[in-house]
Amino acid sequence: MRVVVCLKQVIDPLTPASTLALDRNEKKIRAGVTAPPVINGFDEQGLEAALRLRETNKDIEIICLAAGERFSNDVMKRSLAVGADQLILVQDPSLDTWDPYPIAAALAAAIRQIGGADLVICGRQGSDWDNALTPYILADLVELPLLTLAKSVTVADGKRVEIERVLADGSMRMNAQLPALVTVTSELGALRMPTVSARLAATRKQPRQFALAELGTAVVPGHAPEVVDLAIPVTGRSCTFIDAADGPSAGVRLAETLLQAGAIRLGGER
């Protein structure tokens, strides 16, 4: 059984905003050299789901697949260190985009190139643009049923995938005939840590790389909204001291200050 886990290399969400470089002409945000990228956290949880499946079925082959402009091998090889059998990278300058359609099209072409998959697992969304659309587009392109927001994933008799889907007020059980595509959410749990020996072994492995031309595809823009402008939010704090002769007077002054700032309103106001 072949399980393909889709990964995305992203800017570390914990990177301080002060270290980010904003190109407003290109509508892109870059991290400085002191802030290395990471694998999208939700995608790591998708890989953890695949590893758990293999614990109960040793015949599962896990292939990690990513599409993007460029990759840090040290970052992406973490997937090999925790137990993935292969790492495939689709690399092309035109894939430096926030539009989910070209990314999904590249992933779909790569899946077809390797002969398909019995199960495709994706994170629920990327931590960079938070589009949460790539898995939906990918499922349509490869014509697979889609089960979303799984906090657990199991395979029954090698024929059906079963998930526990997270709801706002609980959970529900869902299943689909294989092949299928599943997205996982954070309730599934974090990716396991690799051992030191596994890390060293992963450094000696090389990912398989494809260019878009080798896959017989090209970037076709989707129908995503146009990015008009980007800006890094400016945050700040201010503190106002209330001076008064006594407690009751301070309370009155505080109420007046909050009213003027719009933080509170009188009970009869609408």
> How confident is the model at residue 219, as a pLDDT?
67
243 with 160, same domain: the answer is no
Same domain, 201 and 250: no
193 and 258, same domain (yes or no): no
Q: Which two tokens stand for residue 56?
A: 């109960």
* 128 and 259 assigned to the same domain: no
Pairing, β 86-91 against β 61-68: parallel
> Residue 241 CB: number of other CB atoms within 10 A?
4
Same-domain pairing of 107 and 27: yes
Burial of 135 (0-12, 13-18, 19+ CB in 10 A): buried
Name the domain count of the chain.
2
DSSP secondary structure letters along the chain: -EEEEEE-EE--TTS-GGGEEEETTTTEEEE-TTS--EE-HHHHHHHHHHHHHHHH-TT-EEEEEEEES---HHHHTHHHHTT-SEEEEEE-GGG--S-HHHHHHHHHHHHHHTT--SEEEEESS-TTT----HHHHHHHHTT--EEEEEEEEEEETTTEEEEEEEETTEEEEEEEESSEEEEE-GGG-PPPPPPHHHHHHHHT---EEE-GGGGT------SPPP-----PPP------PPP-SSHHHHHHHHHHHHHHHTS---TT--
Q: What is the pLDDT of residue 234?
A: 72
Q: Tell me, yes or no, whether 186 and 267 share the same domain.
A: no
**156 in the same domain as 126:** yes
Who contacts 221 (Cβ-Cβ below 8 Å, separation ≥6)? 99, 101, 102
Q: Which residues constitute the domain of residue 263?
A: 237-270
**What per-residue confidence (pLDDT) applies to 149?**
97
Q: What is the pLDDT of residue 222?
A: 63
Whether 140 and 259 share a structural domain: no
Whether 133 is in a domain gets the answer: yes
Does one domain contain both 35 and 141?
A: yes
Helices 134-141 + 100-113 axis angle, to 10:
40
pLDDT at 191: 97
Quick one: 128 and 163 in the same domain?
A: yes
Domain boundary among 169, 185, 215: 215
CATH number at residue 90: 3.40.50.620
Q: Residue 114's closest CA among 35, 32, 4, 222? A: 4
For residues 211 and 246, membership in a common domain is answered with no
Q: Is residue 208 assigned to a domain?
A: yes
What is the Cα–Cα distance from 230 to 156, expressed in whole angstroms? 46
Domain shared by 158 and 250, yes or no: no
> Which residues, 6 or more positions from 105, have their beta carbon under 8 angstroms from its beta carbon?
137, 141, 217, 219, 220
What is the C-alpha to C-alpha distance for residues 264 and 2, in angstroms, rounded to an integer? 58
Per-residue pLDDT of the chain (270 residues; tens, 9 = 90+): 999 999 999 999 888 877 888 777 777 787 766 678 999 999 999 999 999 999 999 999 999 999 999 999 999 999 999 999 999 999 998 898 888 999 999 999 999 999 999 999 999 999 988 889 999 999 999 999 999 999 999 998 889 999 999 999 999 999 999 999 999 999 999 999 999 999 999 999 999 999 998 998 776 666 667 788 877 777 777 788 888 889 899 999 999 888 888 888 876 555
Instruction: Please state, in angstroms and rounded to a whole number, the distance separating the CA atoms of residues 266 and 270.
Output: 9
